[in-house]
Amino acid sequence: MKANPFQFLEMPRRMPRELPAPLRVMGWQEIYGGFSAPEAADQSGRCLDCGNPYCEWKCPVHNYIPNWLMLVKEGRLFEAAELAHETNPLPEVCGRVCPQDRLCEGDCTLNTGFEAVTIGSVEKYIVDEAFRQGWRPDLSHVVASGKRVAIIGAGPAGLACADRLARAGIEAHVFDRYEEIGGLLSFGIPAFKLEKHVIQTRRGVLEAMGVRFHLGVEVDAAMGHDLMRDYDAVFLGTGAYTAVDGKLPGQDLPGVLPALPFLVANARRLLGKPHRDDPPFDLSGKRVLVLGGGDTAMDCVRSSLRLGAAEVTCAYRRGETDMPGSRREVKNAREEGVRFAFNRQPLSIESGLRVDGSLQATGVRLVETRAAAGRGSATEHLPGSEYLHEADVVILAFGFRASPAAWWADFGVQLNADGRVVTDGLPGRTGHAKVFAGGDNVRGADLVVTAVHDGREAGVAIARHLLG
C-alpha cells in the first residue's frame, strides 16, 4: 500500500470511545475505550514521519514513536509490541497515565494546527492487543548468569529495573510492603485511569520472564542488611510517600484526610483487600474540598464524585494555567462536575461541634491570591479577601517527598536535604558500589514514565556492572 503523506488532512484526529460524564461517575472503569485494528491503523497513518521526531525526544524514555506508528499502520502488531518494549518496560501503563498532552503529543509536529497524532491511545492498543493475541517478550536467547539482584519496591521504577535485569539473565527478586505489585499504579492511581487487571497481566508477563515477587514484606534494617549480604546488587525503588506538610491549623481534625491514605484505602476496598490501617471515610452526600492542583488532587476529586459526594471543589493557590497536573485530567474533572477555585490559598481548617460534643472540620478559610510582582511563581494575598469555604470533608493533596529508610546510611547511601537519594557515576549508583536507586526517591515526586526511565537505566547499569 502506497503511503499517503497527506492522510492527516483527510483523516481527523479521533480518540477512542469515551464514556459520557454522567455514566463515568457511576463506576470505576476506565473512561477511554480502545482502538480497533482499523482505527489504530488510520490514526497511526496520520504521522508525518517528519524526520526530526520531536515526539520521540519529548518522551522521557525516548520511545521509537514514528517507527511503531508505521508498524501499526502496516498491520505488523507483534513487531510494534517488540519495538515498544525496547524503550519502555511498561508501555501499556504509560499509554494510559502519561500526560501526553504535555509530552509526546504536545510536541507532535501536527499539533501546530492539525491536531496531534493520538500517540498514547495507539501505544495502549499495541500492547493490549498484542497481549490478547498471545505475544510475550522473547527471552529464548537469554543465558542465566547466576547473579541475583534484590529490588526494594514494586512500583514502576522497580518493575522496569526487573524487566531489564531479566533480559540480561539476572535473577530479579522484588520486595514490596503492599500485597500486589505496582505500588501507586495499583494503590494510588484510580481504576478509572488504570484498571487493575492491566497490572495483573504485567505481573504474569514478568513472572514468566523469571522475576520473583515477595509481597506484603516490609524491608526493615535487619532484612535490609540480609539483602545486602545475600544479593549481588540492590536497587532502591521506594518512591515518594511522605506527604508535604501544609502546616495548616486544624489539619488534624476529624474530617480531614491526607490524599494518599484516602486513595490507597479506596483502592484496597475496590480490590476487596481492606487493611486495618486504612482511614475510615464516608463521602456520601458530603461537601468535599480538595486542596492542591496536581494529578493527585485530580484523582481525589474524581474519586470523591464516584464515592457519592454531593459537591466537590478543588482549591489551588495559583491560576489554572499554572497547575502542575495534566490538562486532560482537569478537563475530565470539570466534565464530571468538579468545581474549581483558582487563586485561593488555604489559611486554616475551621471546626464545629458534633452532636456528641466532639470537634469536626466544617470548612477551610481561604484567601484570594495574585502573582507577586517580580517574584517568579510566588503569590501574594489580596487584602480583605478572606472567606470560609464550607466543607464536610477536606482532602490534603500538597504533594509528596521521598521516604528514605534509616538503615540505608549504614551502607553509605547519601541523601539530599529533602531526603532524596544522591546518585553518581553509573546511572542510579549510590555511594555504595552495589546499591542503585531510581524514580521518585531520587527525583522527588514525578511522573510514572520518569520512574520507568530511571528503573530501566539502572537495570542496564547493574547488568553492566555485574556482567562486565
In this predicted model, what pLDDT tens digit does every residue of 281-315 receive, in sequence order?
A: 899 999 999 999 999 999 999 999 999 999 999 99
Check residue 374 and give its pLDDT.
64
By the 10 Å C-beta count (0-12 exposed, 13-18 middle, 19+ buried), 164 is classed as buried
Q: What are phi and psi of 147, to 5 degrees?
A: -90, 150
Please give the Cα distance from 124 to 91 (Å, whole number).
7
CB atoms within 10 A of CB 11: 13
Please give the Cα distance from 339 to 57 (Å, whole number).
35
Domain ranges of the chain: 7-132, 148-241+401-467, 245-398
Cβ–Cβ < 8 Å for 316, 296: no
Cβ–Cβ < 8 Å for 40, 33: no
Check residue 207 and give its pLDDT.
98
Check residue 354 and give its pLDDT.
81
Cβ–Cβ < 8 Å for 54, 65: no
Cβ–Cβ < 8 Å for 439, 465: no
Residue 387 carries which side chain, given as an amino acid letter? Answer: Y
CB atoms within 10 A of CB 4: 12
CB atoms within 10 A of CB 237: 31
As a residue count, the chain comes to 468
Reported pTM? 0.94
Low-confidence ranges of the chain (pLDDT < 50): 1-2
Please give the Cα distance from 368 to 319 (Å, whole number).
11
CATH H-level superfamily of 7-132: Alpha-helical ferredoxin (1.10.1060.10)
Check residue 445 and give its pLDDT.
93
Sheet holding 233-236, edge to edge: 212-215, 171-176, 148-152, 233-236, 435-437
Q: Given CATH 3.40.190.10, say whether it is the number of domain 245-398.
A: no
pLDDT in tens, 392-430: 999 999 999 999 999 999 999 999 999 999 998 779 999
Please give the Cα distance from 191 to 272 (Å, whole number).
13
Please give the Cα distance from 325 to 338 (Å, whole number).
15
Cell 492542591: give the residue. 292
Q: What are phi and psi of 259, to 5 degrees?
A: -60, -50
Closest CA to 236 of 250, 219, 212, 252: 219
pLDDT in tens, 146-190: 999 999 999 999 999 999 999 999 999 999 999 999 999 999 999
Check residue 176 and give its pLDDT.
98
By the 10 Å C-beta count (0-12 exposed, 13-18 middle, 19+ buried), 112 is classed as exposed
CATH H-level superfamily of 148-241+401-467: FAD/NAD(P)-binding domain (3.50.50.60)
Strand partners, 364: 349, 389
Cell 537495570: give the residue. 459
CB atoms within 10 A of CB 468: 5
Sheet holding 339-342, edge to edge: 256-258, 393-396, 287-291, 311-316, 339-342
Please give the Cα distance from 254 to 265 (Å, whole number).
17
Strand partners, 388: 365
